[in-house]
């Protein structure tokens, strides 16, 4: 049977200017502009939003879960963990968080 579903777009939601866009789910739409129109009600009707991104799901290249061992740490890498630093979510032009 032919798949009559529209294309899938992944939706990214931004709660306030300067905040990161966060992936909130996906949406079916015939094209990107319609995806934005439909995503607006789907993903911002309950929470604050200033900006939405939609990305064609097929544009995303993902690692395979069968290769998730590439993320494992074969030896102690704790020296990479930067405890004690302030890690802002956003960086402003003047370097302040």
Partner 1 sequence: MTFNSLESLKGTNRDAAINLLYRLADDELIIGHRNSEWTGHAPILEADIAFSSMAQDEMGHAQAYYQLLHQLGERDPDTLAFGRKPREYRCASLVCLPKGDWGFSVLRQFLYDASETVRLTALCGGSLVPLAQLAGKLRGEEKYHLMHGRSWVLRLGNGTDKSHAAMQAALDFAYPHALGLFEPTEYDEPLAQTGISPREDELRRQWESAVAPVLADARLTVPGEAKPFYGGRVGQHSDGLGELLESMQLVYKIDPTAKW
Contact window for partner 1 (CB under 8 A) among 16-24, 41-49, 72-80, 87-95:
41-49
In the list 30, 50, 57, 91, the residue contacting partner 1 (rule: CB under 8 A) is 30
Q: Minimum Å distance from CB 34 to partner 1? A: 5
Q: Report residue 78 as tokens.
A: 């704790």
Asked if 27 is part of the footprint of partner 1 (rule: CB under 8 A), the reply reads: yes
Asked if 53 is part of the footprint of partner 1 (rule: CB under 8 A), the reply reads: no
Q: Report residue 67 as tokens.
A: 């290769």
Q: Minimum Å distance from CB 9 to partner 1? A: 10
Asked if 32 is part of the footprint of partner 1 (rule: CB under 8 A), the reply reads: no
In the list 24, 37, 49, 55, the residue contacting partner 1 (rule: CB under 8 A) is 37
- Contact, 88 vs 95, CB < 8 A? no
């Amino acid at each position: 049977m032919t798949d009559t579903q529209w294309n899938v777009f992944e939706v990214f939601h931004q709660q306030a200017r300067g905040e990161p866009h966060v992936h909130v789910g996906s949406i079916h739409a015939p094209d990107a502009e319609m995806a934005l129109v439909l995503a607006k009600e789907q993903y911002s009707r309950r929470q604050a939003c200033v900006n939405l991104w939609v990305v064609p799901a097929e544009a995303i290249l993902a690692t395979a879960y069968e290769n998730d061992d590439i993320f494992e740490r074969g030896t102690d890498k704790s020296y990479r963990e930067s405890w004690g630093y302030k890690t802002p979510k956003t960086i402003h032009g003047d370097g302040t968080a």
